[in-house]
Amino acid sequence: LIFLAGIAGLLAGSFSMATGEYASMRAQRDSYENDIAKEAIELAEWPEEELEELNLIYRAKGLSEDEADKISRRVMADPEVALDTMTREELGLDPSSLGSPWGAAFSSLLAFSLGALVPILPFILTVNSDPTPNIVFWSAGLSGSLLLVLGGILAFLSGNRIWVGSIRMLLLGGLAAAVTYSVGLLIGDSVSGLG
């Protein structure tokens, strides 16, 4: 039962996370593309105002009025370069890397699946035999170890203290597991009370 519930949770959770990540990234990308389209309209309909905006941006970066004007005029002479430049300078976006909804969905699905696989791994390995009485402890130990390692890696990569990241990740994972376990107990009691 634990094995089947674990597999069901892995599949449901990974597809749910992937779907949510796709929807989120798609909405974000649509918003960015809409902003870029508006900028293209502004460049076409109000080129002088956009030239002045770019001029002000370059002056704010320390260029003299004359230098800013020369560079702005050169940029605005080519519509593609103008749109690319205004997208970067005014909107703060890189048009070539707005994010991939499918890439985000797949990476989320993979990460969740791998993470969800860890606690049920001991059950998978003993599926054709009688599980040992300590199998739940093996599952918890394996999961806790992975949380400690991942927390430490994330802390190291972000320049923080490794032990703080490890403990934080273990506590957060433990809290999530406790909530999940408690909900499972409540639902199990409710279902068995109906029978």
Tokens of 183: 């909900």
**pTM as predicted:** 0.68
| pLDDT at residue number 191 | 58
Which amino acid, 62? G
Mean pLDDT for the chain overall: 88
Query: How many CA atoms are closer than 13 Å to the CA of 144, on its beta-carbon side?
Result: 11
Which residue, chain included where needed, has tokens 């003299």? 64
Evaluate if residue 195 carries a pLDDT over 70: no
Q: What is the pLDDT of residues 159-178, one digit of tens each?
A: 999 999 999 999 999 998 88
Contacts of 183 (CB under 8 A, 6+ apart): none
Q: 105 with 89: CB under 8 angstroms? A: no
Q: What is the pLDDT of residues 108-161, one digit of tens each?
A: 999 999 988 898 888 888 767 766 778 888 888 999 999 999 999 999 999 999
Measured in residues, the chain has a length of 195
| pLDDT at residue number 124 | 81
Query: How many CA atoms are closer than 13 Å to the CA of 73, on its beta-carbon side?
Result: 6
Q: What is the pLDDT of residues 69-123, one digit of tens each?
A: 999 999 999 999 999 999 998 888 888 888 899 999 999 999 999 988 898 888 8
